[in-house]
Amino acid sequence: MNLAISDARNGLVNLVGELEQRLTARSSTPGLDPESASAIPDGSSYLLALFDGLGDQQLSAPMAAPMLADRKLGLRAPFPTTTTVSMATIATGTAPAEHGLIAHLMWIAELSKVVNTLKWVDLTGAVVSYDTGALLPAPNLWERLQMAGVEPVTIQPEGFAATPLSAALYRGCRWVGVANSEEFTARALEEVAHPGRLVFAYWPPVDFAAHVFGMESFEYAQAVSEVTGVWERLAGDLPPGAVLLGTADHGMAPIAEGGKLVIRDEEFRMLDCFGDPRAVMIRGSSRLIGRLADRTGGQLVGPDRFLPWLGAGKTHPGLTDRLPTHVLLARPGTVILPPGFDRRLVCYHGGLTEEEVAIPLLVAVG
C-alpha cells in the first residue's frame, strides 16, 4: 500500500509556520524549507484562501486550468487527511499531536464516546455538550498574531458563525460571514487591503460536490468552476503589497459502491471505532481488531508507526486518552464503515494515499 508520508518541511503546518514567522518574526512550528519558502514573496498582508477538498491532483481538471497556472509547489495535508484536523492545524499553527484534534470522528475520553467534530454530535446524532471554545491549546495562532500586533481575520460562509466547531477554531480571530462567492471575494479583497493582516478565507463547495455527487458529475465541475472564478478574481484584483496563497485541507478518493465495506458483525460491536472511513481508529481488544483487519483486508498499524504521522512538537496533554489502540487503513478503492460512519458518499478522504494527502500551494501577488 502506497503511503504518502513525508518528513520534509512541506506540510500545511509549515505553511502556517512560514506566515507566522514573516508576520511576527517567530513561530511555533518551522516554516517551509528554504526552496519552497522562496515561492512566496514578502507582503505587507497575506490572504490564505483554503478551498475545501481541492487536492493537488484535482487541479488537472480542465476547469481548474487558471488555478494550475498559479500552482508553485505541492504541500502535504496532516494525518488524518480530514477537514477538522487541517483546520485545527491552521488555527493553532501546530501539528495534530500538539493541538489534539486528531480525527473527524474523535474519541472524547471525558465523555467516553465518539464525537463528530464537524457537527459536535455523537454517533446517534444526539447533540454533545462540550466546551469547544477550550478544545484547542492557548494561545492559538490568532491570539499569538494579536499579541504581535497583527490582525487576524477569517471569512467564512455565514451559516458557520455560531457552530461549536467555529467556537473551537476561531477564538481570537475577527469573523466575517458571507452569503455567496461574490461576497466572499469582495470581502477578502477588502480585508487584505490593510497592511499588517492575515486573512484566512475558507470556501467549501468542491468538498460537498465531490462527497455527494462524485468527481465525474456536473455538480463537481460546477463547484470547481466556481472556486476557479473566485481565485481569478482574487488574483486579478489583489491590492498592491498583498500576497494571495491558495491551498486545501485534503484531496479526494473516489469509492465505488462495491468498495464500501459495511461492518455490522455482532462480534465487532465491542470495539470503539472512530477516525475516518479511509483510516479507522480503533480502541479495544487487539484480537478483535486483528479479526476486523482480516475481514476488511486493510493494513493494521500500531502506535509505534502511527504516532509519528500526527507530527512533531509538544504533545497535547489529552492526547494519550484520545488515541486508538490501532489504525486500520482501508485498501485503495475501499472504505471501512462501522456503525455511525457515513455510507452515502461517493468520494472519501482521511487516509494516506497521494490523492488524499497531496494539496497545492498557489501564489499570486498584488
The vertex-34 CA angle with 27 and 12, nearest 5°, equals 55
Rounded to an integer, the average pLDDT of 257-281 is: 97
Per-residue confidence (pLDDT) for residue 250, from 0 to 100? 98
pLDDT at residue 2, rounded to an integer: 43
Q: What are phi and psi for residue 312, nearest 5 degrees?
A: -90, 180
Say how far apart CA 96 and CA 315 lie, in whole Å: 9
Delimit the CATH 3.40.720.10 region(s) of the chain. 12-253+352-365
Task: In whole angstroms, give the CA distance from residue 142 to residue 171.
Answer: 7
pLDDT score for 313: 84
Is residue 4 scored above 80 in pLDDT? no
Amino acid at 29: T
DSSP 170-216: -TTSEEEEESSHHHHHHHHHHHHTSSSEEEEEEE-HHHHHHHHH-TT
Share the mean pLDDT of the chain.
96
Mean pLDDT of 10-32: 96
pLDDT at 161: 94
Quote the Cα angle for 254-258-264, to 5°: 110
CATH 3.30.1360-classified regions of the chain: 257-348
Q: Residue 78: its pLDDT value, please?
A: 98
**SS3 state of residue 244:** strand
pLDDT above 50: residue 336:
yes
CA gap 293, 301 in Å, rounded: 10
Mean pLDDT of 211-220: 98
Convert the pLDDT of each residue in 162-180 to its tens digit: 999 999 999 999 999 999 9
- What cell does 188 get? 477578502
Reference 148, options 86, 93, 88, 84; nearest CA is: 93
Return d(Cα 341, Cα 333) in angstroms, integer: 17
CATH 3.40.47.10 fits 12-253+352-365, yes or no: no
Instruction: Report the Cα–Cα distance between both ends of the chain, in Å, rounded.
Output: 43
pTM: 0.97
Q: Which residues contact 76 (CB under 8 A, 6 or more apart)?
A: 4, 6, 10, 11, 12, 357, 358, 359
Q: CA-CA distance, 19 to 361, in Å (whole number)?
A: 13
Q: What is the mean pLDDT of residues 3-21?
A: 85
- Amino acid type, 232: E
CATH of 257-348, one of 2.40.160, 3.30.390, 3.30.1360, 3.30.450: 3.30.1360
Report helix, strand or coil for 112: coil
Average pLDDT for 235-263: 98
Q: Are 203 and 185 in contact (CB under 8 A)?
A: no
Query: Over the stretch 122-153, which tens digit does the pLDDT of each residue have?
Result: 999 999 999 999 999 999 999 999 999 999 99
